[in-house]
Every structure is written in structure tokens, then in C-alpha cells.
Amino acid sequence: MGKIRNRFERFCFRNRNKGIPNLMLYLSLGAGLVYLMSYFAQNYVLYYYLCFNKTLILQGQVWRLFTYPLTYGIGQPHMMLVAISLLCYYSLGRAMENLWGTFRFNLYYLSGMLMMDIYCMIFGGMADVNYLNLSLFLGYATLYPHAQFLLLFIIPVKAWIFAVLDLVLVVYGLVAYPFPANLFSVISLANYFLFFGKDVLNLIPLSWRGNGSRLGRKKKKSGTAKTIPFPSAGSCQASTASVKAPYTHRCTVCGRTDVSNPELEFRYCSRCNGYYCYCQEHISNHVHIQ
């Protein structure tokens, strides 16, 4: 899996400028326009024409597979909340696109739509744009876990806290609801787990991960004292040469190097207490080592 992931990241890096630039800008503006037209018309005609409907899709209205993200906020009486939400999702998507490139971000969002479409076409139900936006937020929180959001526009809360709470609710839904309804939240977020893999652990602070690994490590019981032979000069030189790292830069968080991932940029953090290197994805979203 590691080799496949590396090849995928290299492929996305080579094609980073391909695709639809500013995808979230078009989606946010489109959703805002649909909301305003429905709000002032005081009806849901446009919503019913764009929303996901399995029966009508099978009759030939295939555009519904792609237009339901434009129905966000319809029915919400507070226009300002809808505007703030759309602006927020645009900002999240723009930040991810700047870091990943246009091609990879397009794949991320559109694959979420595709997986939700496949599930709803097989098991029925309505494709929900809120889950697409949730996968967008989880992706942003994984890349920038220490970004702050204002709860009730007053209380600053870090992104990873909201993301962990969302994942807890997803797990709860998996247990609480019957099959196949319980799979909807998992399938709708499959693009998130597929793209991030073990990087989901970035949502857990680095200090917590370190403490957990130390607690889980078994203490070795030493019955007798170990005899450590004093090495000769030749053996010392040989061991020094053997442990020489075959790379120049290595990310402290994910372990990728300039040899395994030559397309990445590596930088050193000036706020960490020591000489710690990070790749371009983790230079801005790691716990500073003190």
C-alpha cells in the first residue's frame, strides 16, 4: 500500500495543475445562487429539479448525480448563516487546493460525490451534500489540525477537536442504525479515509501519540546484567558507516524522505526545540516539540 500511495502522490504532483481550478468557488457560488432564487421565490421548484432522486435518474435525468451539491442550505430561513457556511467551505477547499494542487483536490471532492451516488443508487436514499462538506472539513482538519474556529463566534476551538467529534458521531451512527442505513455515513466519507489513510492520526496531537506509545510499550525485565563488549576502532568505523542515513531530509511526522518522495519539499521548523524536519504537508500542521 505504501508504494501505491507514493505512486499516486507522484502522479497527482505531476498533474497538479490539471482539472477544474477553484472548484469550491463555483460550487459555493452556484449553491448561493440556487438558495437565493428559492428564498425569494418562496418555493422548492429549483430544489426538486436539482436534488438527487433515484427514480428520476433511472428515467434519464442523470444530471441529478452531480447537481445535488448546489442544493445546500435550501429551506434554511437564516440567509446570513448560509452565506457564512458557504464562505467557510470555500475557504477550506481553497486551502486544500493550494496545498494539494487542483488535480488531487478535484479527485478528492468528486470521488466523494461518486461514492455517495453509487451507494444511493444501490441501497436507495437521498445523497446529502452535508456529508460532502463534512469530508471537506475533515480533510482540512487533517492537513491543518491546529487551525482555530470560533464556536458561537466567540470561543476558539482547534480544528482537530471538531474533527474528532464528527468521527465519533460517524462511529455512533455505524452502531446505532440498522443495515444498510448505518453504512451511509461511512461510504459518504470513504474518500476521506481513502485519500488520507494513516494520516488520519494527524488529528491526534503528537504529544498524545507519544504518551500512548510509551504507555503501550512493555517494560523489559532484565534478569542479569548485560555484558557490552568494548568495540575496536575498526568495528566502530564500520558501524558508523552502516548507520549513515541514505537520505538528506526526513519528515518527523510521516517519515517520508527526499529519496522516497522526491516531489516533496522539506523544511525545518524554527519553533521546535531542536533540528526537526517536516515535509510540505506537515510543516504547518504539527505539534511543536519543546
Q: What is the pLDDT of residues 95-111, one digit of tens each?
A: 999 989 999 999 999 99
> Would you tell me how many other CB atoms lie within 10 Å of the CB of residue 110?
16
The residues that bridge with 240 in the sheet, in sequence order, are none
Cell numbers linked to 277: 524536519
Domain 2-203 CATH class label: mainly alpha
Cell numbers linked to 111: 470521488
Cell numbers linked to 89: 467551505
Element (H, E) at 151: strand 148-151
Q: Which of 22, 10, 14, 30 is nearest to 71 (CA)?
A: 30
Longest dimension (CA), the chain: 88
Residue 234: which pLDDT band, with cuts at 50, 70 and 90? very low
Of the chain, the percentage scoring pLDDT greater than 90 comes to 37
Q: Write down the residue that cell numbers 442544493 correspond to.
A: 71
Residue ranges per structural domain of the chain: 2-203, 245-290
Answer yes or no: is pLDDT of 222 > 60.
Answer: no
Q: What is the pLDDT of residues 170-203, one digit of tens each?
A: 888 888 888 888 888 888 889 998 898 887 877 7
Question: Average per-residue pLDDT in the chain?
Answer: 83
Q: What is the pLDDT of residues 236-246, one digit of tens each?
A: 444 444 445 67
DSSP single-letter state for residue 125: -
pLDDT at 243: 45
Element (H, E) at 155: strand 155-158
pLDDT at 98: 92
pLDDT at 206: 64
Element (H, E) at 267: strand 266-268
Contact present, 26 and 110 (Cβ < 8 Å): no
More confident site: 68 or 276:
68
